[in-house]
Amino acid sequence: MVDRLGRVIDYMRVSVTERCNLACKYCRAASDDDCERRELSKTDIIRCAAAFAALGGKKLRFTGGEPLLRKDIEDIIGGVSALRRYDDIALTTNAHGLKDRLRGLITSGLNRVNISLDSLNPVKYRALTGGSLDEAMRGVNHALELGISLKVNVVLTPDNINEADDFIALARENPIEVRFIELMPFGPYGSGHMGRVTNQDIIRQRPWLNPVRQPGKTADICVIEGYKGTVGFISPVSRRFCGGCNRVRLTADGKLLPCLGDAAEFSLLEALERGDEALKEAMREAIYIKPSGHCFGGGFEPERAMNRIGG
């Protein structure tokens, strides 16, 4: 699918729930305690995936909230895998409970997993997320044991930038891509701290990070001599990559968001009721008018917290 600016849109991030078992400072609104809104059914998610594939979709990532809170996430992944239309099916998780389910997720068709890990200090991790670092690391270590492609996502904040070298060290002995993601203006924490620290702060201070040129890619990848893994930088604030953006987002309540940093959203619920052709047409129309770029730093105030979008 090509949008009005000629960008090929072939990647969809699908939030399967707004619910989460953590409460990360940058993600969840303080008043968003239960998140008991409508969630798309397994069947509707698979139908949306099939419609996107018919429009040229090649990559799908399941997010939340926390996608492992869906008891049917293995069935959802299995249903999408059975379409035999996607080159890549991935999952982003906080890894709480991942150890017990990862093998089943892989059997269902999961190709890759991203684990959110915002501190390597147990006390700080609990302060930032409300969760257990031990539980998250069990998920990391189990993913390494099973050999699935693994990325560790670090949302960069003033609270954890002093741990940058500790995170980078994870890639020394492990085939992990450690990815630093700049904080975006979602919720009071994100709005108050956006831009205070950026990926460029890390890169400038570490000239031994060797960039690998990958035109059109969202992440700037760096290799380090002797390391088994790599380090990636996703920099929507300090290095806009909108001109090469290839993604859209489907929220748990059935809205298609062409751009994370724009208020426009398009409900697919009526189209789902009308049938698969109507669904494809609704998606095509929304994707075609994808904005030229995000509005972070330009007065944009998101109406949804990050957990209601799918990070």
Q: How confident is the model at residue 215 (pLDDT cuts 50, 70, 90)?
A: low
> What mean pLDDT is predicted for residues 78-100?
98
Give residue 303's pLDDT: 64
Between residues 248 and 239, which one has the greater pLDDT?
A: 248
Q: Which CATH architecture has domain 11-153+242-308?
A: Alpha-Beta Barrel (3.20)
> Smallest Cα–Cα separation from 87: which of 52, 115, 114, 63?
52
What are the structural domain ranges in the chain? 11-153+242-308
Instruction: Using a cut of 0.85, tell me whether the model's pTM lies above it.
Output: yes
Give residue 299's pLDDT: 60
Q: Is 128 exposed, middle or buried (0-12, 13-18, 19+ CB in 10 A)?
A: buried
**Sheet of 266-267, strand order:** 210-212, 220-223, 230-234, 176-182, 149-156, 112-116, 88-93, 59-63, 11-15, 247-250, 255-257, 266-267
CB atoms inside a 10 Å sphere around CB 215: 5
Report pLDDT digits (tens) over 187-213.
666 666 667 789 999 999 999 998 886
Averaged pLDDT score across all residues of the chain: 90
